Amino acid sequence: MSSLTKAHVDARDFANKLYQAVDSLSADAVGSFLAQDVRFQLGNFDEISGYQQVVDANAAFFQSIAAMSHTLKDVCSVGDTVICTGAVHYTRHDESTLQIPFSAVLKLKDTLIYDYQVYVDISPL
């Protein structure tokens, strides 16, 4: 299986499973979706490259919140790229909540994400 199209990966199913892993606040679960040479960029933060660096960055972010959940609105694929939009619901450690829109572009190789771009403004957190 060398591509999303050839592997017949269902884009919505892939996105649902990825965001279930993200919402579990488990960096290791997120890591199971990542290629070793992954590039990750969240909002306007500097990009991070490399599997362990991306897993560590996710682990650090997960510690900064009490919980989160994603609601997917649109999911589509173009070639080996999955594009999704929706809302992310954050619960802060003080129990207050915040909901903001997001979109993500996930470029896949061998059904793993090698380029992971999330467009979201987390400054209100």
Give the per-residue pLDDT at 4: 52
Token pair 């070793």 is found at: 36
Mean pLDDT, the chain, integer: 93
- For 91, the domain range is 4-119
41 inside domain: yes
124 inside domain: no
The pLDDT tens digits of the residues spanning 59-104 come to 999 999 999 999 999 999 999 999 999 999 999 999 999 999 999 9
The domain spanning residue 103 has which CATH number?
A: 3.10.450.50
The pLDDT tens digits of the residues spanning 29-68 come to 999 999 999 999 999 999 999 999 999 999 999 999 999 9
Total-model pTM = 0.90
103 inside domain: yes
Token pair 């589509």 is found at: 76
21 inside domain: yes
125 inside domain: no
Percent helix / strand / coil, the chain, rounded to 5: 30, 45, 30
- Whole-number Å distance between alpha carbons of 97 and 68: 9
- What letter would DSSP give residue 47? P
64 inside domain: yes
Number of domains in the chain: 1
- Whole-number Å distance between alpha carbons of 62 and 22: 9
